[in-house]
Amino acid sequence: MLPQSPAPPEGAVLSPGAAVLAGMRASSRSVFCYTLFATFVGFGALCHDLGFSIYWATLSTALIFAGPAQVISVTMLGAGAPLLSVAFAVALSGIRLLPMTVSLLPMLRTPQTRTRDLVLFAHFIAVSIWIETLRFAPHVPRENRISFCTGIGIGMTTSSVLGTIAGFVLAAQLPPLLSAAVLMLTPLSFLTSTARNSILLSDRTAFVLGLTLAPLLAWMKVDFSLLIAALTAGTLGYGAHWLRRVLQ
Amino acid sequence: MSGIVTELWPYIVLILVGYLPNEVWRMLGVAVSHGVDENSELLIWVRAVATAVLAGVVAQLVVDAPGALALVPLSVRLAALAIGFLTFLVIKRSVFAGVMGGQAAMLIGGYLSGVSLMVP
């Protein structure tokens, strides 16, 4: 059994370095440390199968650190797609990082926080970091939050890079059913952890609507289906939250 | 000179069409978040949109499955997602339990529908 990640110690303010280490320790107790490892085993195997080098695969994880963007770029480049269309597809897939960044930073910074610390932390923002930061940060003294969460990012990236290398090396030895199981890890862990973090009515409504609208619009061949589905579902979710408050 | 460029070209491509178009949103987020209050109504909306994006990614990965996952029938993939979610709800809202429940369903369903456990 993996331990369910406990909340980090509350109270005492640590030095920035100690806070980074505490964040790295917290990341090792997160279920994402393990699902990321396994997910990137899938990515490493994909890179191998598409003829990229192990250095390229590793650099992709270290630099991009966003599953969808990496899978999209390696698949499209492997198929010889025009570079501009790859960049466009990656940019579309990355839009989700904008609202995540905007919603995280205000709860992490203090008036004294330096921009470069925010920029460094922002590099690590991904679904897993977003979820774990929302969960951990409220229990960490505000002065330590940005360092602590950067530590979470470093821990998760390390685990992902190791997974990429393992996947690349193991590529030829994985049977199809296990490869499929590796690819199923991402949706399962995203689904359950987002559900765990959705406390507000707005989030819950947006979650259920997003789950149904996105494939519906994709099936209807609507352009930018994910983006339109998310904006619609998110806005309706906010509407539900607003309506309930007005009625009370 | 051109030899070095040829050798480094895949890495240059990685930075130009992989790293930069993705990273720009994180940096834009740093700029936009400046001066946004953490308890503002705007953030509640932004967070709802981010949650919906996630839900959408989950749905797309399962419905329009990549690589080997496409070998597993859609009905099994959807059932595995549902069983994972139910396991999560039943076992103390544990993410780990949910992932394991879903994977068990996926492995059994995939095996019964003939996806190979043999190395190709």
Considering the domain architecture, whether residues A53 and A103 belong to the same structural domain is answered as yes
* Residue A138 sits in the same domain as residue A248: no
Chain B residues touching residue A239 (CB < 8 angstroms)? none
B21 vs A115: CB contact, 8 Å cut-off? no
In tens digits, what is the pLDDT along chain B, a chain of 120 residues? 567 778 899 999 999 999 999 999 999 999 988 877 767 888 888 888 888 878 887 888 898 887 788 899 999 999 999 999 999 999 999 888 999 999 999 999 999 998 888 776
Co-location of A153 and A207 in the same domain: no
**Are residue A25 and residue A140 in the same domain, yes or no?**
yes
Q: What's the distance, CA A217 to chain centroid? A: 23
Task: Please report whether residue A5 resides in a domain.
Answer: no
Q: Does A102 share its domain with A139?
A: yes
Least confident of A44-53, A185-194, A220-229: A220-229
pLDDT tens digits, residue range A3-23? Answer: 444 444 556 788 999 999 999
Domain limits for position B101: 65-120
Q: Answer whether A101 sits within 8 Å of B49, measured CB to CB.
A: no
Between helix A127-136 and helix A31-49 the angle, nearest 10°, is: 170
Contact A3, A29 (CB under 8 A): yes
Does the residue A7 lie in any domain?
A: no
**CB of A52 less than 8 A from some CB of B:** yes
Regarding whether A208 and A156 lie in a shared domain, the answer is no
Q: How many domains, in total, are found in chain A?
A: 2
- Within the 109-138 window of chain A, which residues sit less than 8 Å (CB to CB) from chain B? 115, 118-119, 122-123, 125, 127, 130
Query: Residue A243 is part of which domain span?
Result: 199-248
Indicate if A135 and A155 belong to the same structural domain: yes
Beta-carbon separation of B55 and A206 below 8 A: yes
- Report yes or no on B41 lying in a domain: no
Residue B45 lies in a domain: no
My answer on whether B73 and B118 are in the same domain is: yes
Asked if the structure places residue A60 within a domain, the reply is yes
CA distance A78 to A50: 6
Spatial CA neighbour of A54 closest among A173, A179, A168, A162 = A168
DSSP A198: -
User: Are residue A234 and residue A248 in the same domain, yes or no?
Assistant: yes
Instruction: Say yes or no for a CB contact (<8 Å) between A189 and B99.
Output: yes
Number of domains making up chain B: 2
Q: Kindly state whether residue A4 falls inside one of the protein's structural domains.
A: no
DSSP string, A29-75: TSHHHHHHHHHHHHHHHHHHHTT--HHHHHHHHHHT--HHHHHHHHH
Find the mean pLDDT for residues A14-41: 91
Is there a domain that residue B81 lies in? yes
